[in-house]
Copies of this chain bind each other. A is one copy, B any other.
């Protein structure tokens, strides 16, 4: 089948002028992968992409190499790139890894301290979350808003860790593609409430300059998301064995 929904970039896309084609092609192909336009395990054909995106093979190849670096593609010499498959067990593991890494990030942040600006953003996220959760139930769109609040909290803390390698690794964990239907997990009000309480405690630990407490709290916080995911998967009954294979032995 032809690559539907993968169109060439319109000329001079808006105000933020694109640096070069390779980068924009990278974004487009990444979106195609994450969005499921090209399915997992599929082998990528360079000429097809170059025709679809209306560029030569050169920027396409550059993009594919970049995406392989991000871990989204596999490369085999003389055989090109294939979309990496992420079994359920790998997705679950990714949460575990992220929990560990974000724990370290929280520790670093507590050791190094937050800038005034960072404190402001985090406190704002805490207040905004409190307000959103005060009513005891969600209105339409609230979840999307909370997703932003949550992102601000984590991103700011990650920045405060002041370590690029750590940030990149966590970013890779976030990019692990989870077939989007499964991504809908633990969106009950009670769960979000609990997570937001975690945020408060983590922030307190960091402000109190208690690095190890911050690490443990953050680790448990992220790990909780994994547990929710596993739980909801088991409840739906699907592939419980695979989840098991990764959690037990």
Contacts and interface: CB of A to CB of B under 8 A. Distances in A.
Interface string A63-96: 0011011110000011000000000001001101
Classify chain A's interface size.
35 or more
B247 A97 contact: no
A165 interface: yes
B71 A168 contact: yes
A65 B23 CA distance: 12
A130 to B, nearest CB: 28
Contact of A71 (B100, B165, B247): B165
Interface string A228-249: 0000000000000000001111
B112 A165 contact: no
Interface of A: 19-20, 23, 61-62, 65-66, 68-71, 77-78, 90, 93-94, 96-97, 100-101, 103-104, 108, 111-113, 163-166, 168-169, 172-173, 176, 209, 246-249
